[in-house]
Structure 1
Amino acid sequence: MRKNFLPELLAPAGSMEALKAAVNAGADAVYLSGKRFGARHYAANFEDEEIEGAVSYAHLHGVKVQVTVNTLIKDSELQDVAEYLLWLYKIGVDAVIIQDLGVASICREMVPNLDMHASTQMTIHNFEGVKWAAEFGFKRVVLAREVGVQDIKRISEKLNEELKADKSSSIELEVFGHGALCYSYSGQCLMSSFIGGRSGNRGMCAQPCRKPYDFTVGEKDEFGRPQNTRVMPLKEHYLLSTRDLSVYKHLNQISKAHVNSIKIEGRMRSPQYVAIVVGIYRKAIDSMKREKWKPTDEDVSKLKLAFNRGFTEGYIMNARRGSLMARDGPGNRGLYVGDVVGYKKSGEVVVKIKNPIIPQKGDGIVFKSLNQDERDQGMFLEKEPSMNKNKIILKVQRPVKPESKLFITRKKSLMDSADELINESSSKRLIPIKISIKWDENKFAHLDCEFPVTIPVTDTPKHEVTHKHLHYRSPLQFETAIKRPLSHEQIEKQLKKTGGTPFIIKEIKMEYPGDLFVSIGKLNQLRRDLLDKVAEELLNYYIPEKKDLKAAETRFYNLLNGLKSDLKIKHKPESDKSANFDYKPSKTDVGVYMDNLETLTAACKGGCKRVYFEPHSTYSNFKNSNPDEKYIARYFEDIFELLRKAGTICSEMNVDLIWKLPNITSQSYLDHTTPLINKLSDLNVSGVMVDGIGAAEAIKTQNNKIEIYGSTGLNVWNHLIAEQLSKTSNDPPKNPGITFKSITVSPELSKNEIKRLISTSHTKNIPTSFELLVQGNIESMVTEDCLPLINPKSNGLKMYDAKKEFIGIIDAKKRVFPVNTNYNGRTHILNAVELCLVDYMPSILRMGINSVVIDARGKPPSYALEMAAIYSNAVEKTEKGNELKKTLNMLKNNVKKISTGGITTGNFIRGVK
């Protein structure tokens, strides 16, 4: 990995107009999506033929194109996505952005020359995750937005250290630099999916984080259900709404962390937004090249005027948790101008200005009242405001209350300049051509052209310029002039008319006999034909060679044959009691997630066979936002002691104990965790459960013999993901993997999709067991924000303890979503309704599930005892098959009595769109 370089500037292109804005504003690369398989379903996006046009336009201007193929894919869609990847390779796309591990395996096998970028939705947030991605074959990792700049620098330095001997495993790092932030870790948010079946992992997020919520606290009954709750009187109700990220002021620090690419978010934003933001970041990066750059207030103001929800430096710059949130509202803030100090009956308002940028005629403005219950008053200025020292006077349409604040939400002059940039070819991006022209004895023109081709340099964000030559013999035959021969100047003038093309004729050398003639129209056609040939020649450098394309097509058909054989697996209707795929395990275990010893003991007494213990330490005190090393050491000492006690309990009750790590395992967490791994066998801990491949890599590196279990964060959607998570040590070095003893299928899949996943996996002898979450308020979000720190009076720091009292948020439909916290104060928002699949136990066992799991984290012992007993009974009765329907209905009624928020089958029946 190289040092002392400036990052690539990567821009969003939600439409062709936005792509042109990005190119003309100076982007090095753009990312876009087709109508399928992209994680921004509600952006305009591109039809297939539009993608071809976009790739050609970008490449003619020396700009790389990345296409998002970053949704999670069902088994039934694998053939379609394989065809799509092959087509993207054929048309010369530079890279694809991928979340689905199965899709990545297809891409690696079928089109190995097509660069893969690991999407931020893979939630890679530690060195081990990045190293795994490099070894798997990814060219770049888009890090989780929560990774801080110091961790990025450490990851980069460690990569340089460990991978320098193996140049084939080098990998780039990309970060988000500007735009909207997800409240939850990307790829770890299921809230939209659970509420309405619109999955963020399928590009259809309904953005529940931009909705209003009330904050509620209360007591817990013996089963953990809320009672005696009260809604806290908060001034702000958009509890999950984040500000927009902007690292503009910190570009020097980002660059010094050896980041290869800075991404601007905004495929759903306007082309004008793209032009403004990309232009400002381009100017800054170019100035950094000359070591003369300093951030300016003027540029910050322009960024705000483009769009902002209030800016934050983000987790990447280690911003404090509270400073990331915009809980007062989810909309555009605009640029603050000043405060209203008076209103005249004539319809004029007086504003004391506090910003050098003031509104002008044609600008969009808004007056915001101090009372958040009152509506904002927006308008376009029809007249220029008048100035009076440090005050301006505006003509308004209705009265404005004193002390209201004035903001500019649309600056006409800024938008006009953005439109000009979008609609005009940038002289910086025009390709210069030198032409030598002469005529043969038959009066045919021969043109020799020299032009530069900009080609991406391997393993760098830079480009290499090489000069190419093209000989073109025009089919146009000139005539001997009778009266008025064409002059040298006329020919040169017409050839230089390249407006509307990406070319500029810089030089023409002519051996002209001086007595020839053709019409001006034919001369123009000669120019167009020549430029078409140059464009064709230039674009050919991005298209795979015929032998490579043929090899890719052969691999595609081989892959297709394998997928088609998978499709031949027949599934009998659910109503058919004989529907048994011969994969039914000899015994299905009941497992329970829990976070304290009391609940663990109760679950064991209830009859569960395996516990996944995510211990809550007394040193998880989230008031310590920056704990010192001594405090962290005490935390892990406490974790070790809790595991020791849990091991004793489970050993006495003959229950399997698995240490469940948090969903998110930062570099610091892993550095303190791995020293404990070799001691686990002494504690009767038989395995570790993880939600990320980075954590699994860290554990296996420390102790290759320990069993690894995969939780829902791995997003297992298809059998190819299961296959990649079940690789053995005998696999080739460039086809690495971790042998997961067991993996949990995604809670977003329907029963038929799960059935197909497992039956296909067994047909292909994939060596792993499958688990299914069947009960509990399932996690819908995990975030670095700490909701329990909200203070009802000032939104400052007031701690509520989710382990002792009920904490929740209430949406507009009065659904209550419980809130838990874990290590370092990370917030987990649970579904408002408990998943309950107890009455579907016959079909669950028939589809080949090895373990059914209850999530009892945050629940008291009584809940764990009852639920473990209910599901143990359900499994036992199902395996025996006696009076099953009546028994299961009775057990379902027992579940209802102790569930929080009622019960649901979740996506098990309906699936997601």
Structure 2
Amino acid sequence: MMELLSPAGGYEALVAAVQSGADAVYMGFGAFNARRGARNFTDEEFASAVQYCHLRGVRVFLTLNTLVTDRELPAAADALRRANAIGVDAVLVQDWGLLALAREIVPDLPLHASTQMSLFTLGGANEAAALGMERVVLARELSRDEVREICAGCKAEVEIFGHGALCMCYSGQCEMSAVLGQRSGNRGACAQPCRLPYGVDAPCRGAYPLSLKDANLSAYLQDMERMGVDCLKIEGRLKRPEYVAVVTGIYRRLLDERRLPTAEESAALEQAFSRSGFTDGYWLGRKGKAMFGTRPENVPEPKELFARARETYENGKENRKIPVNLRLTVRRGKPVRLSGACAVRNGVTIALATGDTPEEARNRAVTAEELAQRLSKTGGTVFTADSVEVELDEGLMVSASAVNGLRRELLDELAARRQDIPKRRELPASPLPDAPAGAERMAFTVSIARADQLTEALLAEKPAIVYIPAELLDTMDLSACAGRTELCAVLPRVFRTADEQPLRAILERHPEVTSVTVGNWGHMPIVRGLGKTLRGDLGLNVYNSRAVAFWRERGLTSVTASLELRWQQVRDLGKYADCEAVIYGRLPLMITENCVTKNNVGCTHGAGSVLTDRMGAQFPVLCAYGCRCEIENGKVLVLADKPEVFRCGLRYGRLRFTTETAEECAAILRAHNAGTITADADTTRGLFYRGVE
């Protein structure tokens, strides 16, 4: 049966999840998880929580799924070691450097690829599996047909989100909270700017074009099981324990009874939490305005529903009774023996307790029925006697206290074995080799969004690399570029399994394009074997030196530093590959499956739209590959007038052209070459000096 995975943002929520029927829980401790706003757990609480869960047959997954700086890696390594020693069942990761470190220092600890890795293709899922990931958590935006295709071909387990909040942006690709408020969603501190009002090609007047309803896929559980989904995740580590209990309990019943939710259950799910109801739009492949909704402030608590929920797990309520088969042997002249067995994941736990030799009865001999009745009294434990067998020679006597003592000893032993910590290796982390020196001089590269931006005037300024969206290549005459610059194809940040072969075919048709970007795990099957230079793009979220080394080992010649890093952090990156950073242009804030433009003003056939917030700030919305859209920052990043950008050891500084005219593109590159670029009120320094939480 499909595993039901529930959130545990604190100890009470953990108990609520377990007592409501979760097969597994996901939880965090420390600073390295994608819900730092949740209460989370101290080390001691976490160890206790793992024991609590394992006793009841519930698995525990630790979330270490945030981006980590070089300075934070030692603490993250300590968290991995603690998780390994405590006996967690798996760790979710996003950061490439942390992934490489985990494989080295705790090689036996199972790893899951977090949804923050932005996995949405079969190729990407299998790349993660080839790295040793036991499970991949797919992007929420996939349809059921796309999930089915991945399940059929993926070499790892597949987990999907079944209930709870939907991010407007693809997980792992959102920079809106970071750029606008220094609170990084990639580091567990998202301020949820998508829940605020915006206008689309109009002033902000209270519409919420970025606020998606919560997902509710409770009607499709049997479909998921048939297609091979291994795990259904309930989102909500910031939610109340009562919410966890209500939602987990309903999904537990639906899975066990293999049925659709009743009207009463659907109403309870909506009462527990919703935003103008729910959506199943992505699952059904139906995007549009119907997927959007808000939650008014001061929504009254569903007191009756939550009170009933608390009754199911508070005050030591134990719903997770473990069936035990007991067998008592009482033979004349031999010690009394009590054996017991209970099921555990993929096996059976067996224990044995031995007592004194039984005495001859002086008055009345004990009966098998009396012994069975005593053994059945398992109250105060998580066990319940499922079957009791008694082998008894006639005429013997065994005291009630002796039987009770054997029962307690046996059940204690079974409990201890269920909580056994697996034997796993813990190895030292090998230091990174000395990194090559960074580049002494930074060359300028340019990326274009439209074919008309690549002109003779731009080429005359001799950009080191011109990045061109792969989907534009067939529409462009690139002969004028021959021998003048490196042409690099930019693969789309978001695509689907069906796009893999068409994208590869485009690259094969253009030998004049000598390099290609890798911005997602799913790009690797597309580019492998083409003989082109591979360059890491922004979508990889390269955040630390081990991440640079990780991608260099996989054949990348250069990587692009995360735009969340301060200049000192960029400077200190080990330059195991050439490093690039965006130093000019509008920073990408979101890439969305739902088209903001089409939903609100109708399709503009590539022209995009403009998003306006409450303060009047405007954000261009550009069309992206596959009828998706990319929201750009309203202010243009300018860094090349600052000396620090030239002290970072960067091989390349990228000028990211989006809304600029062809004439502006050439003029801006010319100003960079001449050292005359300047900042004004409409420009920003981004996060180059501020960094993020």
| TM-score, normalised via structure 1 length | 0.70
C-alpha separation in 1, matches of 2:501 and 2:144: 18
Specify the alignment match of 2:235 in structure 1. 265
Question: Structure 1 residue 677 and structure 2 residue 507: aligned?
Answer: yes
* Segment of structure 1 superposing worse, 427-436 or 846-855: 427-436
Counterpart of 2:496 in structure 1: which amino acid? Answer: S
Specify the alignment match of 2:50 in structure 1. 55
Question: Structure 1 residue 93 and structure 2 residue 59: aligned?
Answer: no
Q: What SS does the corresponding residue of 1:65 show, helix, strand or coil?
A: strand
Question: Structure 1 residue 817 and structure 2 residue 622: aligned?
Answer: no
Specify the alignment match of 1:660 in structure 2. 490
Contact map agreement 1:193 1:200 (CA 8 A) in 2? yes
Question: Structure 1 residue 330 and structure 2 residue 212: aligned?
Answer: no
Aligned-pair CA distance for 1:102: 1.5
Counterpart of 1:689 in structure 2: which amino acid? Answer: T
C-alpha separation in 2, matches of 1:657 and 1:612: 6
Q: What SS does the corresponding residue of 2:190 show, helix, strand or coil?
A: coil
Specify the alignment match of 2:157 in structure 1. 172
Contact map agreement 2:487 2:515 (CA 8 A) in 1? yes
Aligned-pair CA distance for 1:208: 0.8
Question: Structure 1 residue 590 and structure 2 residue 444: aligned?
Answer: yes
Specify the alignment match of 1:869 in structure 2. 670
Question: Structure 1 residue 303 and structure 2 residue 269: aligned?
Answer: yes
Contact map agreement 1:271 1:422 (CA 8 A) in 2? no
C-alpha separation in 1, matches of 2:621 and 2:82: 45
| Structure 2 unpaired stretches of 5+ | none
Specify the alignment match of 1:839 in structure 2. 641
Specify the alignment match of 1:544 in structure 2. 422
Counterpart of 1:418 in structure 2: which amino acid? Answer: A
Please, which of 778, 796, 809 is the counterpart of residue 587 of structure 2? Answer: 778
Q: What SS does the corresponding residue of 2:116 show, helix, strand or coil?
A: helix
Question: Structure 1 residue 642 and structure 2 residue 475: aligned?
Answer: yes
Contact map agreement 1:198 1:204 (CA 8 A) in 2? yes
Specify the alignment match of 1:277 in structure 2. 247
Cα 1:35/1:481, change in 2 over 3 Å: farther
Which of the pair has more CA radius of gyration?
1
C-alpha separation in 2, matches of 1:662 and 1:89: 37
Specify the alignment match of 1:720 in structure 2. 546
C-alpha separation in 2, matches of 1:600 and 1:321: 34
Question: Structure 1 residue 744 and structure 2 residue 560: aligned?
Answer: yes
Counterpart of 1:590 in structure 2: which amino acid? Answer: F
C-alpha separation in 2, matches of 1:331 and 1:98: 34
Aligned-pair CA distance for 1:144: 0.8
Output aligned runs, 1:351-362, within 5 Å.
none
Output aligned runs, 1:234-245, within 5 Å.
236-245=206-215
Output aligned runs, 1:341-356, within 5 Å.
none
Please, which of 131, 139, 143 is the counterpart of residue 134 of structure 2? Answer: 139
CA RMSD of aligned residues (A): 3.3
Output aligned runs, 1:609-648, within 5 Å.
609-614=464-469, 639-643=472-476, 645=477, 647-648=478-479
Counterpart of 2:150 in structure 1: which amino acid? Answer: I
1:543-579 Cα distance to aligned partner (Å, 9 max, x none): 223xxx4xx23x2x2x1x526x87xx9xxxxxxxxxx
1:395-416 Cα distance to aligned partner (Å, 9 max, x none): xxxxxxxxxxxxxx6261x333
C-alpha separation in 2, matches of 1:690 and 1:95: 28
C-alpha separation in 2, matches of 1:722 and 1:524: 61
Question: Structure 1 residue 75 and structure 2 residue 70: aligned?
Answer: yes
Contact map agreement 2:359 2:397 (CA 8 A) in 1? no
| Structure 1 unpaired stretches of 5+ | 1-5, 160-169, 218-229, 333-375, 380-408, 456-463, 570-581, 616-635, 728-736, 792-796, 875-890
C-alpha separation in 2, matches of 1:776 and 1:757: 23
Aligned-pair CA distance for 1:179: 0.6
Counterpart of 1:183 in structure 2: which amino acid? Answer: M
Aligned-pair CA distance for 1:20: 2.2
C-alpha separation in 1, matches of 2:332 and 2:104: 52
Contact map agreement 1:433 1:503 (CA 8 A) in 2? no
Output aligned runs, 1:490-529, within 5 Å.
497-506=377-386, 507=388, 509=390, 514=397
Output aligned runs, 1:16-165, within 5 Å.
16-159=11-154
C-alpha separation in 2, matches of 1:816 and 1:286: 50
Specify the alignment match of 1:410 in structure 2. 302
C-alpha separation in 2, matches of 1:141 and 1:131: 9
Identity %: 32
Please, which of 424, 430, 434 is the counterpart of residue 326 of structure 2? Answer: 434
Aligned-pair CA distance for 1:431: 3.7
1:521-541 Cα distance to aligned partner (Å, 9 max, x none): x9988765553333112222x
Aligned-pair CA distance for 1:124: 0.8
Question: Structure 1 residue 604 and structure 2 residue 459: aligned?
Answer: yes
C-alpha separation in 1, matches of 2:688 and 2:547: 19
Contact map agreement 2:288 2:599 (CA 8 A) in 1? no
Aligned-pair CA distance for 1:241: 0.6
1:177-225 Cα distance to aligned partner (Å, 9 max, x none): 111001100000011111121111111111111112233x3xxxxxxxx
Contact map agreement 2:287 2:594 (CA 8 A) in 1? no
* Segment of structure 1 superposing worse, 75-84 or 38-47: 75-84
Question: Structure 1 residue 448 and structure 2 residue 249: aligned?
Answer: no
Cα 1:74/1:472, change in 2 over 3 Å: farther
Counterpart of 1:231 in structure 2: which amino acid? Answer: P
Aligned-pair CA distance for 1:433: 5.1
Contact map agreement 1:594 1:858 (CA 8 A) in 2? no
Counterpart of 2:474 in structure 1: which amino acid? Answer: E
C-alpha separation in 2, matches of 1:670 and 1:243: 30
Q: What SS does the corresponding residue of 1:778 show, helix, strand or coil?
A: strand
Aligned-pair CA distance for 1:516: 5.9
C-alpha separation in 2, matches of 1:153 and 1:492: 50
C-alpha separation in 2, matches of 1:706 and 1:207: 39
Counterpart of 1:907 in structure 2: which amino acid? Answer: L
Please, which of 505, 509, 534 is the counterpart of residue 708 of structure 1? Answer: 534
* Segment of structure 1 superposing worse, 523-532 or 710-719: 523-532
1:242-262 Cα distance to aligned partner (Å, 9 max, x none): 100011112233223221111
C-alpha separation in 1, matches of 2:683 and 2:78: 40
Q: What SS does the corresponding residue of 1:20 show, helix, strand or coil?
A: helix
Aligned-pair CA distance for 1:584: 4.2
C-alpha separation in 1, matches of 2:545 and 2:438: 17
C-alpha separation in 2, matches of 1:515 and 1:61: 31
C-alpha separation in 1, matches of 2:684 and 2:355: 72
Please, which of 745, 756, 760 is the counterpart of residue 572 of structure 2? Answer: 756
| TM-score, normalised via structure 2 length | 0.91
Aligned length: 687
Contact map agreement 1:486 1:517 (CA 8 A) in 2? no
C-alpha separation in 1, matches of 2:208 and 2:629: 16
Contact map agreement 2:69 2:544 (CA 8 A) in 1? yes
Specify the alignment match of 2:690 in structure 1. 910
Aligned-pair CA distance for 1:446: 5.9
Contact map agreement 2:213 2:291 (CA 8 A) in 1? yes
